Each structure stands twice: as C-alpha cells, then as structure tokens.
Amino acid sequence: MTDMLKRYQAAEKLLPWNVRHAVLNAAPKAKKLDDSHFYYGLEERTGEEVRTVFKKVNTEDGTESDLFDAKALAEKLGCDNLPFDRCDVKDGRIIFVHEEYEYTYEPETDTLVKGDYQQARAVSVSPDRSRELFVRDHDLWLRECATGKETRLSYDGEKDFAYAKCAEYSGYITDRVKGVPEVPDVLWSPDGKKFLTYKMDQRNVKELYVLQSYDEETRESIRPRLHTYKCAFPEDEDLPLAHYCLGDAEKGTLTMLDMEPQPAGGPLFHEYYSAAKWLDDGSAVFTTHVTRGSKIASFVIIHSDGSVKKVLSETSDTAINIRTYGNLDGFNDYCASNFLSDDQKTVIWQSERDDFARLFRYDTDGNLLNVLTPADCSVGELIGKDDENEFVYFYASNFKETSDPYYQLVCRAHYDGSDFRILCREDGMHRAVLINNMIVDTWSRVDKAPVTNLYKADGTFVRELVRADISDLLNRGYVMPERFHVTASDGRTELYGILVKPAGFDPDQSYPFIDYIYGGMQCYNVPKAFACSAAIEGREIMGGLEEFAQLGFAGIILDGLGTPGRGKKLHNISYENIHGCAGLKDHVFCLPQIKELYPFLDLERAGMWGNSGGGCATSRAMLEYPDTYKVGVSSAGNHDQRMYNNQWTETYYGLYNREIYLQGDNTALAKNLKGKLYIVHGAMDDNVAMSQSIRLIDALIKEDKDFDFLILPRTNHNVPANPYFIRRKLDYFVRHLLGEEVPEYRFELPEDLK
C-alpha cells in the first residue's frame, strides 16, 4: 500500500492543474507590429514563478529587442512582474487586460491609462469600436457608441426565427447557466462599414433537454430546473437554417440576400473560426456552403452591394471534407481551405477529388485554370496568401521524407501551379504564421520538444527564435512517448501510434496497458506534436497516460483505418461506418504486432478509456471484443448515433437510413459484456445527452449485467476535466486492471477547481 501511495503522489505531479506552466515557450504567439516587425511573448521562469516579457523582431534580419520596458510597466501596476501574458499593440500603444480592466500603456511617454471594466455584453462591436450591434425582441439594432443613437435594422424577427441568433449549439446550455451573454452572430468587414449576419429559422426544430438538479448560487429554490435547446437528429426533417443578410452600418440598412439558406449547428461567424471571410478592403465576403449530408460544397461570393455569385460546386459520393472542423481544412479564422484573391479574379479551392487533398485554381466564372500542388501530398490548413506575388502558403503531409505520413510541413506554391516547395522541412509537426516577409514556425514531435524558427518567405533559414524548456515537465516524471508503426487489418496500410512505458520500467516485468481512444472519424487521435497540454482546457496530457505510467501501467494510442489526413480512400473506410470507431478493429488486430515490439505488454490485461466518441468506442470495444478488453471507462459516450446531432452524424453515416443507423446502436450488444465497465456522464451535458448513457445502462440491466455508473451533477460534456472523475478513473483501473488496492488518498486541488 505504501508503494501505491507513492505512485499516486507521483501521478499527482502530472495532473492538469500541476503542469499548467511545466513547459515554457511551447508555442509562442507572434503578431504583426508594423511593416518591418512582429512581436511575441517570451516565457521565463524565476524560481516557481513564470513571467512573460515581450520581444519585437525585425523581419528583415531577425534581430530582437524588448517591445517595451517590462520592469517600468510592472512597477506602475504595483507588481514584481508583468501580470499578463498577452497584449495587443495599436499605434505604438500597448493594450492589455489586468484584473478585468483594460489598460493602455504608452512606452514613449511612460504613461498608463486605466480603461473600462471588461464586462462581457451581448453586443458585437465593430473593428473600430465606433458601432455595436445588439438584438432586442428578436430583431437586430445598431447603436452609435459615441452618441448612443439606436437604429432598428429589422422588423420581422420572432422567437425561433430571430436575427443574428445562432443555432443552439453544443455548449448552449452551459453558457446560459454561466450567464455568458449571447453575442449577436455577426461578421464585420475590416473597415466596420458592412457586416454579414443571418436570420436563423429554428421554429420547427425539435428540443433536447438538460435537467439541472442543484441550486445555482443566485437562486434559493431547490426545485430542479429544466433547460431546453434545439437539436436536430438525423431522422428529423427540420434543421436550423441560416438566411444570410448583409448590413450597411453607415446607411443603417439590412438586406436579405438571394441565396440558399445554410444548415447550421452553432455560430457561423465565431471570432476564431468563421464560415465566411471578408476581403481586406471590404469589397466582398466569401463563404463555403455545404448541403445537408455533406456531399455538395459550393464557393460563394457576396459583394458589398448585396449581389451574390456561386462560383463553383463540388459533389462527392461520400462525405466532402470541407468545413469538417477536423485535421484537414481551415484558413486562420476561416473554416475552409479556400479563398478569393484581393482582386477578385482568382479562387483557390481545396479538393480531395484525386484522393489526396490538392489545391486548384479557378477564375470567378468557375473555370478551372490549373492545379497548384502535387498528387502525392495532402494539403491541410492554409497559412496565408501573398496576392502581390501570387503565392499561397499551407501545411501539407504524406511526404516520403517524413517518418510519419501525418506530419505536416510548411509549403508554398504559386497560383499558376509552379514553384511548389517545402519551406520548413524538419521531421515533425509544424505550426506557422506568415508575417510581412517572414515565417515564424514552431515544430516538434511527440518525442521531441518544440523549437520555433524564423524563415524568409522563400524558405531561407534566418535563425532559431526560441527553444521550449521542458525541464520542469521532465522533473515531474514525464515519460517520453515512443513512436511505433504496425500493419492495419487490411494487410497493407501502415498505422502509426505511440506507447508510454510505465515509470521505473523493468523489461523483465509484465505490465497491463490502457488503450486511450477517441473514435471520431473527423480527426486523428495520436498526438504528433510534443504533448505538453491537452487540446481542451482542463484535460490530461494524452488522456492521462502519463499519470497511468506513474501507477504502473503502459499506455498506447493508435490511429486505425478511417481517419483523415491520408487521403479520401482511407478516410472513406469510416463512411456509413461510424460504429467502426475510426478503426477500432485495427486496435484489436494490431495488438499481437504491438506485443512483438513491446514484449512486456500483458495482452490479458488490456484496458480502454475515452470520452465522447471515445466513450462510444470504449463501450463498443467492451461489447464487440469482450475477450480482448477486460476493463473500460466510457465517459459522455454517444452510444446510439440516431440520438446525436444531425450535422456530425450525417457527415459520416449519410442521410438517415434506419438499417445503417441501427449499426451504430451499442445497446444492441449489451448481452456481450464480460469485463468491468464504468459508464460516466455529466448531468449538464449539452452535447451528448445523458439519455445516451441511460439507454445503455437500461440495456445492460435487461441483460442482467454488472457494471458501474457515475453521474457528475455539475459537469457538461467535458467530463475528462473533472478532478473527481480523474481520480475515480485512475482508481478503477488500479483496482480492476492492475489488481491492487487503492490508497486512501486525495489530490490537492487549486482554489479554482474546488
């Protein structure tokens, strides 16, 4: 027991709240300062304190200096170090938020001005902050900030058919309970003169429910509260439909556009990931429309005068991988890898029509002019464009020179299809930003710490900017993952995964292992870049495999057949096959091969866990392969695909076909359960309804099966970030897979998690 107690204490050092600052400078955020400089925040450690100092870099020669006197500003704020780690620069002034107030600092005069309290409001503010849009009684209004003058822009808004009201998305109830203001869904032109929005029709969309069983701090009633939100299932005829409108803030007008309504499943004009993008001069905005079922995508231009032009459309027999919010597409703040040139003469369009995603050039009459990229590499997100010199910058993968076909390198191609080249070619995952005539690129591998380098736009290396400091993470016991590859169940495709050895590894011992799975086919699960934080706030690195390693487990993550990024043919394996969980069969098939690589793995003690699509995959594994997986923890699982939102499900199952959809009902396999299954769900889940887990439980009860179940009353879909769940998950595998007694020990939580 003493030994296990020490193991838990070691695992605690790697819990999410203890590794928040364990790695410094893993991903510096560079921003443009002026035509010859950018700036970024450099993290430094002094004892146990981490501070950020801001540097500016000359984009001509790469030389670096302080952006401003950090010590002088800190003294003005009454702090030892700067109390913020991000800032904006406008006209030489430093703008930042401290203790929820906006401050402006003028370095030249060493003056500091305290601004307004940064209270979130239900308004959308124009880029120049001169105007704001808001909704009143379902209609859209415009307010002049200087005078307070209000102008009503619409008159026919109604409940469930309101202006600038987004579809009631995953997380909608969470935001309402937290009191997050519902900001109008608006996309302003850069000059703030025009804006794009819509009138959202949800009148006939059916409702889904969340029952809140506990008191809120502001309420005294103990009566449970019923929350409702609109959510279309695949079998439903009616969907949320966005009818696009164009607004003129100077004239105070709003015009309904002559274009097909767009199916929606949440905000279309999110601040960081919008379904449309304005040209810099505000002369037009472009968007990519996708039909229900995700088989037709179109490129549409909306001119500032309100005229609309559909430039091109592409059709696929299976899911067209555009606006999937996965690992294939996107362009900075725009959610598709396509764009319109500033002169409105060229459209660059990403397509998988040749299997691997390539870039194609069209004119604005829809005529195909040329292809930009080779057939044997796969284009991912776009990084930036240079219209003057007619270059597009992007990530691409599937290169023979990389050790993993998923690794994305920074590339460039000319609009006319010439001069394709790899600019940043280190063997790993790259993330870059194009500023002026320079590329700021951070690259790493799951087994190699991040390095940020500077390049000229033509790929000429300038210098190393900063190398991440992972010493604190290593001192906490972090076990560096090992990469491996095996052959898939098709007998020919190489699959790629990672293994985390147990802490204090002894090659003569046999170890149980945990297979951490996702199972959603819109992305791959195996981390490619260095894993020092989780993709979603509050979650464990690599699903907690580092903590499991401290407790005596090995851990694996494997991408099976059916994930994106390696061509449409491989991705199509998941089409009409959601129940395949993006290659669950390959996890089972490949275990003997993994055992050959790592003989210390005990295949008789195999466990699995995952959340959401991983919760579905875990329950599926326990029921479909009961002789392989002996212990499973399934959280927030979508166990029956008929009960999930139509957008995601129809992308991979197609339009509703009862026979196909019934294959995605895990409850039909309840009779097969042999091992120990722990089903966990958040009662406030407004993504995957808790009824999904309740129905699985009901099926297990009918089959007289033993299982364990936990409801987290205050938790939404983000079950993996719940500290109580993290401990109970560890305990479950220690008891039932490791076969040891759990010590009487509780993790120490920071104040914000208590």
Q: What is the pLDDT of residues 358-398, one digit of tens each?
A: 999 999 999 999 999 999 999 999 999 999 999 999 999 99
How many helices (H) and strands (E) in the chain?
A: 12, 44
Q: Which residues contact 178 (CB under 8 A, 6 or more apart)?
A: none
Domain stop point among 119, 153, 176? 119
CB 185 within 8 A of CB 269: yes
Looking at this protein, which amino acid is placed at residue 588?
V
Where helices occur in 211-360 by DSSP H, the ranges are none
- The kind and range of the H/E element at 548 are helix 545-551
pTM: 0.96
Please say if the pLDDT value at position 313 is more than 60.
yes
Residue 436 belongs to some domain of the structure: no
Question: How many residues appear in the chain?
Answer: 754
The predicted model gives 132-149 an average pLDDT of 97
Q: Worst-scoring range by mean pLDDT, 221-230, 310-319, 382-391?
A: 221-230
- The kind and range of the H/E element at 647 are helix 646-653
- pLDDT averaged over the chain? 95
Calculate the dihedral angle through the C-alpha atoms of 711, 713, 715, 719, rounding to the nearest 10 degrees.
-10
Domain stop point among 119, 145, 170? 119
The pLDDT tens digits of the residues spanning 620-630 come to 999 999 999 99
What local confidence, expressed as pLDDT, does residue 327 receive? 61
Looking at this protein, which amino acid is placed at residue 163?
Y
% of the chain surpassing 70 pLDDT: 99
CB 653 within 8 A of CB 559: no
CB 694 within 8 A of CB 670: no
pLDDT band at 46 (very low <50, low <70, confident <90, very high): confident
**Measured distance CA(47)–CA(364) in Å, rounded:** 58
What local confidence, expressed as pLDDT, does residue 598 receive? 98
Q: How many CA atoms lie within 13 A of 510 on its CB side?
A: 7
DSSP-derived letter for residue 334 is B
- Scored b (16 or more CB within 10 A) or e, 129-154 reads eebbbbbeebbbbbbeeeeeeeeebb
**Measured distance CA(699)–CA(185) in Å, rounded:** 41
Residue 183: which CATH number? 2.140.10.30
102 and 13, same structural domain?
no
Task: Kindly calculate the radius of gyration of the chain based on its CA atoms and give it in whole angstroms.
Answer: 26
Q: Which two tokens stand for residue 321?
A: 């991988």
CB 228 within 8 A of CB 206: no
**Measured distance CA(446)–CA(441) in Å, rounded:** 17
Q: Which two tokens stand for residue 10?
A: 């070691």
The pLDDT tens digits of the residues spanning 92-106 come to 999 999 999 999 999
88 and 13, same structural domain?
no
Residue 342 belongs to some domain of the structure: no
Domain stop point among 205, 237, 271? 271
What local confidence, expressed as pLDDT, does residue 265 receive? 87
The tokens 């026919």 sit on which residue?
156
235 and 108, same structural domain?
no
The pLDDT tens digits of the residues spanning 402-449 come to 999 999 999 999 999 999 999 999 999 999 999 999 999 999 999 999
37 and 156, same structural domain?
no
What local confidence, expressed as pLDDT, does residue 214 receive? 87
Q: Which residue has the higher pLDDT, 265 or 369?
A: 369
Strand order across the beta sheet in which 101-106 lies = 88-90, 93-98, 101-106, 111-117
The predicted model gives 113-123 an average pLDDT of 90
Residue 421 belongs to some domain of the structure: no
Beta bridge partners of 679: 634, 709
pLDDT band at 126 (very low <50, low <70, confident <90, very high): very high
What local confidence, expressed as pLDDT, does residue 638 receive? 97
In the chain, how many domains are there? 3
The predicted model gives 584-592 an average pLDDT of 98
What local confidence, expressed as pLDDT, does residue 284 receive? 98
Residue 490 belongs to some domain of the structure: yes
CB 40 within 8 A of CB 29: yes
150 and 140, same structural domain?
yes
CB 263 within 8 A of CB 239: yes
Residue 684 belongs to some domain of the structure: yes
The predicted model gives 733-745 an average pLDDT of 96
Of 158, 118, 154, nearest to 137 (Cα)?
158
What local confidence, expressed as pLDDT, does residue 322 receive? 83
109 and 54, same structural domain?
yes
Looking at this protein, which amino acid is placed at residue 125?
V
Please say if the pLDDT value at position 326 is more than 70.
no
The dihedral through the CA atoms of 576, 582, 585, 590 has a sign that is positive
pLDDT band at 272 (very low <50, low <70, confident <90, very high): confident
Domain, as residue range, for 47: 23-119
Q: Which two tokens stand for residue 480?
A: 């560096």
92 and 114, same structural domain?
yes
Of 134, 113, 566, nearest to 321 (Cα)?
566
245 and 167, same structural domain?
yes
Angle among Cα 597, 603, 604 to the nearest 5 degrees reads 165
Residue 443 belongs to some domain of the structure: no
Of 446, 641, 649, 475, nearest to 26 (Cα)?
446
Query: Torsions phi, psi of 229, nearest 5?
Result: -150, 155
**Measured distance CA(621)–CA(672) in Å, rounded:** 10
Q: Worst-scoring range by mean pLDDT, 117-126, 232-241, 264-273, 663-672?
A: 264-273
545 and 484, same structural domain?
yes
pLDDT band at 117 (very low <50, low <70, confident <90, very high): confident
CB 73 within 8 A of CB 105: yes
pLDDT band at 321 (very low <50, low <70, confident <90, very high): confident
In three-state secondary structure terms, 280 is coil
44 and 182, same structural domain?
no
**Measured distance CA(488)–CA(587) in Å, rounded:** 9
What local confidence, expressed as pLDDT, does residue 218 receive? 66
**Number of CB atoms found within 10 A of residue 456's CB:** 15
Looking at this protein, which amino acid is placed at residue 665?
D
**Measured distance CA(209)–CA(226) in Å, rounded:** 7
The pLDDT tens digits of the residues spanning 618-675 come to 999 999 999 999 999 999 999 999 999 999 999 999 999 999 999 999 999 999 999 9
pLDDT band at 119 (very low <50, low <70, confident <90, very high): confident
CB 519 within 8 A of CB 639: no
**Measured distance CA(644)–CA(255) in Å, rounded:** 34
pLDDT band at 341 (very low <50, low <70, confident <90, very high): very high
What local confidence, expressed as pLDDT, does residue 325 receive? 53
In three-state secondary structure terms, 612 is coil
Residue 567: which CATH number? 3.40.50.1820
183 and 39, same structural domain?
no
Find how far residue 514's CA is from the centre of its chain.
Answer: 24
Please say if the pLDDT value at position 14 is more than 60.
yes
Residue 351 belongs to some domain of the structure: no
% of the chain surpassing 90 pLDDT: 92
637 and 627, same structural domain?
yes
Strands 131-136 and 139-144: antiparallel
CB 599 within 8 A of CB 646: no
Residue 362 belongs to some domain of the structure: no
pLDDT band at 753 (very low <50, low <70, confident <90, very high): confident
